[in-house]
Copies of this chain bind each other. A is one copy, B any other.
Amino acid sequence: MGVLYVDIVDDIKNKILNGVIQPGDLLQPETEMANSYGVSRTTLRKSFALLVNEGYIYTIPGKGNYVCKPTGKQYELQFDEIENLKCKIDEVSLLDVKVVEPNKKLMTHLMLGPLDRIIRIRKVTYCNKKPIEFIVVYLPYEKGNPIVEDVIKFANFHDIMESNRLHFQIKKKISIEIVKPNDEVRKHLKLNEEYVFLISQQIYSLEKNSILSYNEFYIHGEHITLNAETKI
């Protein structure tokens, strides 16, 4: 007896849960169902929009609305190279900034050719005076690229984006692995035989349809836990 469209959503959810409607089933036409609920088609469609959004049903124009088959594999993960660390950061220190030639991996991740040049920025994050994260940022070399300065100035990419009004126009992908770090990484993180989390991140500009940055975060396993949960 609350809001109509919510009541309808709940009712349809229940019908799905109780097996009255099965995954794959075709629902009644909108007009018909609106009548049987005693609401306007507009209101019913608002309910359907919610159900689609939450993954309960899907629509094929000209055909009808169908009950989804459940997947339940989709999780939401929050990741920020600074805030996700378990401990409080003392310092993010800049190691070096250098123009490098691309190897195969970088050419792939930054979508560049062998003649392009890349700016590499390396940082180490300290926590209780111990190095726990080794960050490598690769940027396509462009004369006077303002992002380079920002990468040096700001600790995390989030702050860079906020400062730059690139805001909504970017897409990021990450992949999470365990790796045995090479000597370089081991030296900077003062590790012996431990394995580390490697989170590689690609940042796309939707506007220019190019890759803004490829980053690698090597994180001491003890200092990070990633948490994720399914939505609704």
**B-contacting residues of A (Cβ < 8 Å)?**
13, 16-17, 19, 23, 42, 49, 53, 55-56, 69-80, 83, 158, 161-162, 165, 167-179, 193-197, 207, 221, 224-230, 232
Contact = CB atoms under 8 A, between A and B. Distances in A.
A177 B72 contact: no
Given A73-B80, A73-B158, A76-B74, A165 B228 contact: no
5 A-B pairs with least C-beta separation = A178-B221, A195-B195, A176-B226, A173-B229, A70-B167
Contacts of A172: 72, 75, 229-230
Contacts of A83: 73
B176 A16 contact: no
Contacts of A227: 173-176
Given A168-B232, A178-B196, 14 more contacts: A16-B168, A70-B161, A72-B158, A73-B83, A73-B158, A75-B79, A171-B230, A173-B228, A174-B228, A175-B227, A176-B227, A177-B224, A178-B197, A179-B221
Contacts of A194: 195
Given A176-B228, A197-B178, A226-B176, A79 B70 contact: no
6 contacts: A56-B168, A75-B172, A171-B232, A173-B229, A179-B221, A193-B193
A73 to B, nearest CB: 5
Given A167-B17, A168-B17, A226 B73 contact: no
A27 B165 CA distance: 18
B229 A177 contact: no
Contacts of A175: 225-228
A56 B131 CA distance: 37
Q: For A55, A72, A221, which residue has the most chain B Cβ atoms within 10 angstroms?
A: A72
Contacts of A23: 167
Nearest to A197: B178
Contact of A177 (B16, B17, B225): B225
A177 B219 CA distance: 11
